[in-house]
């Protein structure tokens, strides 16, 4: 594949973007399987935490698809997802510290993603930065 | 804990973890040197997959021998995920023949040891 490289990439699904998509995929797999298992086997123990895990899983999947599809719609989807993630990880992170009784079991976003090496906190920032970096020049 | 212990502890999982970290280090150097994924990375991923398949076989043998993981659902989830990681890295590396392909191989090979350790933990819960 010949490289048609201008001075700045404008596609979200090439180069560093593909690394980002790969990490999103890993998190989509991790969050989906975790949430699926929690909801199937012990939903009653911590319904809020497990529903949030499921929500996080969906957001990761949609974000990965949005980044991979690129284009206008893909970018908008990715933007919405990265924003939702950032809000989610900050909100759930703060809530899990303030009201641990609401979160008897961990979610991907508990403690600002501390159970996953804080990557859930870094990932949406990288996603937003990447969307900004590849924006169409106006 | 009996003498047999957990089938996912011991030499094979140590080999998997060390090999994975070696491939990650090699891929990191390649990424830093602006190199696309090379043969060594792809062969490393293939060997890693073989070791992980060996780990799965050991777990299967232990299961037929009547042993049980502490958390069966999580254990099999991690096992399936683990087996998918090296092929995923290889496919993405082939799609991205630039330094970022090497970066993907590095990232996946850093995640693999974590999943191996989680696999060990989900076997152990009851076994202790």
What digits encode the pLDDT tens for the residues A58-75? 999 999 999 999 889 999
Q: Of B54, B57, B48, which Cα lies nearest the Cα of B93?
A: B48
More confident position, A111 or B128: A111
Gap from A136 CA to chain B (nearest CA, Å): 22
CATH architecture of the domain with residue range B11-124: Up-down Bundle (1.20)
Taking residues B102-106, what's their average pLDDT? 96
Alpha carbon distances (Å) from A68 to A63, A136, A137: 8, 17, 20
| pLDDT at residue A77 is higher than 50 | yes
A49 shares contact with chain B (CB less than 8 Å) = no
| pLDDT at residue A1 is higher than 70 | no
Q: What's the mean per-residue pLDDT of chain A?
A: 87
Q: Is residue A2 part of a domain?
A: no
Taking residues B103-115, what's their average pLDDT? 96
Using only the alpha carbons of chain B, give its radius of gyration: 16
A74 shares contact with chain B (CB less than 8 Å) = no
What is the structure's pLDDT at B48?
97
A30 shares contact with chain B (CB less than 8 Å) = yes
Residues 6+ apart with CB under 8 A from A137: A8, A10
Of B74, B81, B104, the CB nearest to A18: B104
B79 shares contact with chain A (CB less than 8 Å) = no
**Cα–Cα dist B102/B83, whole Å:** 20
Of B77, B84, B108, the CB nearest to A22: B108
What is the structure's pLDDT at B2?
44
What is the structure's pLDDT at A124?
95
Task: Read off the pLDDT band of B126 (50, 70, 90).
Answer: low
What is the structure's pLDDT at A18?
92
Of B74, B77, B92, the CB nearest to A18: B92
Taking residues B102-121, what's their average pLDDT? 94
The 10s digit of each residue's pLDDT in A19-58 is: 999 999 999 988 888 888 888 888 888 888 888 889 999 9
Alpha carbon distances (Å) from B54 to A24, A74, B8: 28, 40, 10
Q: B43-74: b or e for each residue (b if 16 or more CB lie within 10 Å)? A: ebbeebbebbeebbebbeebeeeebebebebb
Interface confidence (ipTM) of the complex: 0.84
| pLDDT at residue A3 is higher than 70 | no
Taking residues A109-125, what's their average pLDDT? 90
Task: Report percent pLDDT > 90 for chain A.
Answer: 45
Q: Is residue A112 part of a domain?
A: yes
Q: Which domain holds residue A68?
A: 16-136
Name chain B contacts of A133, Cβ cutoff 8 Å: none
Q: Is residue A10 part of a domain?
A: no
What is the structure's pLDDT at A58?
94
**What's the whole-model pTM score?**
0.87
Is the torsion defined by CA of A129, A131, A134, A137 positive or negative?
Answer: negative
How many structural domains are present in chain A? 1
């Amino acid at each position: 594949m010949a490289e048609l490289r201008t001075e700045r990439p404008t596609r979200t699904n090439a180069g560093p973007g593909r690394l980002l998509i790969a990490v999103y995929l890993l998190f989509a797999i991790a969050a989906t399987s975790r949430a699926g298992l929690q909801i199937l086997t012990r939903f009653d123990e911590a319904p809020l935490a497990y529903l949030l895990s499921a929500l996080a899983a969906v957001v990761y999947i949609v974000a990965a698809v949005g980044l991979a599809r690129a284009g206008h719609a893909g970018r908008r989807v990715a933007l919405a997802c990265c924003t939702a993630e950032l809000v989610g990880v900050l909100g759930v992170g703060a809530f899990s510290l303030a009201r641990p009784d609401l979160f008897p079991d961990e979610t991907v976003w508990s403690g600002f993603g501390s159970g996953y090496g804080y990557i859930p906190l870094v990932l949406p920032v990288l996603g937003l930065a990447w969307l900004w970096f590849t924006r169409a020049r106006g | 804990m009996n003498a047999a212990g957990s089938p996912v502890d011991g030499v094979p999982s140590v080999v998997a973890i060390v090999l994975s970290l070696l491939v990650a280090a090699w891929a990191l150097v390649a990424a830093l040197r602006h190199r696309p994924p090379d043969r060594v990375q792809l062969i490393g991923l293939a060997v890693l997959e073989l070791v992980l398949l060996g780990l799965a076989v050991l777990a299967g043998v232990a299961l037929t021998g009547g042993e049980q993981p502490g958390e069966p659902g999580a254990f099999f989830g991690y096992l399936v995920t683990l087996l998918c990681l090296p092929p995923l890295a290889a496919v993405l590396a082939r799609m991205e023949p630039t330094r970022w392909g090497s970066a993907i191989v590095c990232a996946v090979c850093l995640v693999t040891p974590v999943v191996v350790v989680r696999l060990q933990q989900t076997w152990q819960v009851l076994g202790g």
